[in-house]
């Protein structure tokens, strides 16, 4: 059974710091891995999608890597800003007989001005 975990559960950093969020999954049979952010009381916003054949994706100050064989992904945020404060979720699209999407529990990020 696929399990997705995220470390740390919560993180507080001063503005301007670079930071790394971690996502681990137990079953490497995935189509892709997607990173989202969720702001309080709101829906999810897609940040980056990495296909299983890819190693990383970049968008602005965000860089996500994928090591499928070890079951790990990292989301790197450069020069953090208070507006980055949110909960960050990773999700894997699982290759089973039928498709399932399994989310991690999230990392709550707070960037202090």
Partner 1 sequence: GAGVSQSPSNKVTEKGKDVELRCDPISGHTALYWYRQSLGQGLEFLIYFQGNSAPDKSGLPSDRFSAERTGGSVSTLTIQRTQQEDSAVYLCASSLETTPRGGGTQYFGPGTRLTVL
In the complex, which residues of this chain contact partner 1 (CB under 8 A)?
A: 31-32, 34, 36, 42-46, 49, 51, 89, 91, 93, 95, 97-106
Name the residue nearer to partner 1 (CB basis): 18 or 96: 96
Smallest gap from Cβ 102 to partner 1, in A, equals 7
Cβ proximity to partner 1: between 89 and 111 the closer is 89
Nearer to partner 1, 71 or 104 (CB): 104
Which residues lie closer than 8 Å to 47 by C-beta, 6 or more apart? 34, 35, 36, 37, 59, 62, 64, 75, 88
Shortest distance in whole angstroms from residue 78 CB to partner 1: 22
First vs last C-alpha separation in the chain: 41
Q: How far is the CB of 65 from partner 1 (least distance, A)?
A: 17
Minimal distance, residue 28 CB to partner 1, in Å:
14
**Dist. CA 109–CA 112, nearest whole Å:** 10
Backbone angles phi, psi at 83, to 5 degrees: -70, -10
């Amino acid at each position: 059974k696929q399990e997705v975990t995220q470390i740390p559960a919560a993180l507080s950093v001063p503005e301007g710091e670079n930071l790394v969020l971690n996502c681990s999954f137990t079953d490497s049979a995935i189509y892709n891995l997607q990173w989202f952010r969720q702001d309080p009381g709101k829906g999810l916003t897609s940040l980056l999608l990495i296909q299983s054949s890819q190693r990383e994706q970049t968008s602005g100050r965000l860089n996500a890597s994928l090591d499928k064989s070890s079951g790990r992904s990292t989301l790197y945020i450069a020069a953090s800003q208070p507006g980055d404060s949110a909960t960050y979720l990773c999700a894997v699209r699982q290759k089973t007989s039928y498709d399932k999407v399994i989310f991690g529990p999230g990392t709550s990020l707070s960037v202090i001005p």
